[in-house]
Structure 1
Amino acid sequence: MDGVKHIIAVASGKGGVGKSTVTVNLALALAAQGHRVGVLDADIYGPSQAQMLGVKEGVRPQAGTNNKFLPLEAHGLQAMSMAFMVNTREPMVWRGPMVVGAFQQMLTQTQWDNLDFLLIDMPPGTGDIQLTLAQKVPVAGAVIVTTPQDIALLDARKGIEMFRKVNVPVLGVVENMSLYHCENCGHEAAIFGTGGGDSIAQEYDTQVLGRLPLTLSIRELTDSGRPSVISEPEGTVSQTFAAIAQKVAEAVNANQGDGPTISFSE
């Protein structure tokens, strides 16, 4: 893609595991390490990156050259989302072909400006958007987000298997909500279980990129449009995202030159 060096899909097999929160904080962590980073919100039905980046409702992208959109800028990131195009209070009652068309338009008609990394916040599942992404552009790798419990891991496996089928390398697994930390008393509890990220990483010969706690501050800061990485840059959560970002960049560089070839079977 013009203006983009590496595309990274941030995906999960199911919703509710914190994929969008991981995407925005990972993007900000990569930017803090000196990279030029963009975020594409590919969840057409439920876009959330606009609020997470603090973009006010009703802000629209400007026209660029060659019939393209200019991405919006927030916290040093370039961003594009369906939330910038429509009234987010109205539901997107669209069939699959319309959703795929909207995604393709955002993917190919956004005038990205010299990005090192474009992070794509994928919708949950293994359907049209995921296949369209793999068919249309070379994807440098995928980051899989999961929580430790067995039900989430079942769907995370499906996500990994899907990327394998289209020959997109899985860069690693982020285990979100791995440990509950009470901010009042300091008590910690593994309420979703333990070892889930390790088991799935071993099963698919990949790595655990990092483990994130279940804490109130992550949710509050993301909802407010100022995610943890910029609100608390010296905090433990931000340091974890910095380590994840470093591993992701290293994994992409290690795979460079081994561009995925897309193959599909019925």
Structure 2
Amino acid sequence: MSERECNNSSCDKSSCEGCPSRQQPQSFQAEANEYSCIRRVIGVVSGKGGVGKSMVTASLANLLASKGYKTGILDADITGPSIPKMYGVHGPAEVTEEEGITPCYTENGIALMSINLLLPDEAAPVIWRGPIIANVVKQFWTDVIWGDLDYLLVDMPPGTGDVPLTVFQSLPVNEIVMVTSPQDLVQLIVKKALGMAEQMHIPVKGIIENYSYFKCPDCGKEIQLFGKSHIDEEAARLGLKVLGKMPVDPSLAEASDRGEFHTVKNPYLDIDFE
């Protein structure tokens, strides 16, 4: 039976069982820009905000760039973009009708695209509904000329809403990294994000715990500000690897505030994505 016959209003349920459209799952994956060649896409995810996801994303990007990999960051946190400020990068990004949007670059050579690089006023709030925001994120994949990249890190907004769903469905995400903090409440919400990844059939590389402890600058004692961490036990129960434990390090925040995150070599993360 042809697809045209299947779409005819006269066909019944039994006659449509052999239709090709019933046998193949629908794909929502979008085509990358024709001038882009991206080998691996890594999503950086958190169940809730405030756990330092963007700092982890930027730290991983710096790590990959320092190893000689061509690296990019797609800032999918449209309503709360922070990546450009961390690197001291300002727009506007160049846009052409023929080819697309040219990303900006950090001083250590990381390709970067964020809504802040397209707005006339980067401090202006983005007051858009979910479907519009999700479509912008998709355009960051289809319209941005990423060029030749070994890794594209996607800094996703927290939660399991429109944008994470769009990224998982529209981009060929190879795996995700979860970012959490020691609080039990956060651990509960992380399970929801992990559940979403499982339902979308996206492999999870592992978990990074941020704010694990604070080291006293005078005596060197490690102080657990959010109580005792249970990340090792929780990760083992979920069958995941702990990829790193980051303390509260004021030097990282200071580099972000100065727009000099390109100088940061985060000693708490050393992850092999191969």
Q: Which category of TM-score, normalised to the shorter sequence, fits these structures? A: 0.7 to 0.9
Amino acid in the other structure paired with 1:209: L
Q: Is the Cα contact below 8 Å between 2:99 and 2:145 reproduced in 1?
A: no
Q: How many residues align?
A: 238
Q: Name the structure 1 match of 2:166.
A: 132
> 1:118-129 alignment to 2 at 5 Å?
118-129=152-163
Q: Name the structure 2 match of 1:102.
A: 136
Secondary structure of the residue that 1:240 maps to in structure 2? coil
Q: Name the structure 2 match of 1:82.
A: 115
The offset of 1:212, in angstroms, is 0.5
**Pick aligned residue for 2:268 from 232, 240, 243:** 240
TM superposition score normalised by structure 1:
0.85
State yes or no: 1:161 paired with 2:195.
yes
The offset of 1:17, in angstroms, is 0.2
Q: Is the Cα contact below 8 Å between 1:147 and 1:196 reproduced in 2?
A: no
Q: Is the Cα contact below 8 Å between 2:44 and 2:179 reproduced in 1?
A: yes
Residue range with higher mean Cα deviation, 12-21 or 130-139: 130-139
The offset of 1:64, in angstroms, is 5.2
> 1:23-172 alignment to 2 at 5 Å?
23-56=57-90, 59-63=91-95, 66-74=98-106, 75-86=108-119, 87-172=121-206
- Shift of the 193–67 alpha-carbon distance from structure 1 to 2, 3 Å rule, reads same
Q: Is the Cα contact below 8 Å between 1:183 and 1:215 reproduced in 2?
A: no
Q: Which has the higher helix share?
A: 1
Whole-Å Cα distance in 1 between the matches of residues 234 and 103 of structure 2?
A: 36
Q: Is the Cα contact below 8 Å between 1:47 and 1:82 reproduced in 2?
A: yes
The offset of 1:163, in angstroms, is 0.6
The offset of 1:184, in angstroms, is 4.0
Secondary structure of the residue that 1:239 maps to in structure 2? coil
Q: Is the Cα contact below 8 Å between 1:182 and 1:215 reproduced in 2?
A: no
Whole-Å Cα distance in 2 between the matches of residues 65 and 34 of structure 1?
A: 32
Which ranges in structure 1 are unaligned for 5 or more consecutive residues? 251-266
Secondary structure of the residue that 2:61 maps to in structure 1? helix
The offset of 1:186, in angstroms, is 2.6
Q: Is the Cα contact below 8 Å between 1:42 and 1:121 reproduced in 2?
A: yes
Q: Name the structure 1 match of 2:252.
A: 218
Q: Is the Cα contact below 8 Å between 1:60 and 1:85 reproduced in 2?
A: yes
The offset of 1:89, in angstroms, is 1.8
The offset of 1:65, in angstroms, is 7.3
Q: Is the Cα contact below 8 Å between 1:148 and 1:195 reproduced in 2?
A: yes
Whole-Å Cα distance in 1 between the matches of residues 97 and 217 of structure 2?
A: 49
Whole-Å Cα distance in 1 between the matches of residues 172 and 44 of structure 2?
A: 15
Whole-Å Cα distance in 2 between the matches of residues 29 and 117 of structure 1?
A: 11
Which ranges in structure 2 are unaligned for 5 or more consecutive residues? 1-31
Whole-Å Cα distance in 2 between the matches of residues 204 and 114 of structure 1?
A: 35
Secondary structure of the residue that 1:92 maps to in structure 2? coil
Secondary structure of the residue that 2:239 maps to in structure 1? coil
Whole-Å Cα distance in 2 between the matches of residues 115 and 199 of structure 1?
A: 36
Whole-Å Cα distance in 1 between the matches of residues 205 and 86 of structure 2?
A: 24
Whole-Å Cα distance in 2 between the matches of residues 39 and 72 of structure 1?
A: 10
Q: Name the structure 2 match of 1:15.
A: 49
Amino acid in the other structure paired with 1:19: K
Whole-Å Cα distance in 2 between the matches of residues 69 and 206 of structure 1?
A: 37
Secondary structure of the residue that 2:63 maps to in structure 1? helix
Whole-Å Cα distance in 2 between the matches of residues 11 and 116 of structure 1?
A: 20
**Pick aligned residue for 1:208 from 234, 239, 242:** 242
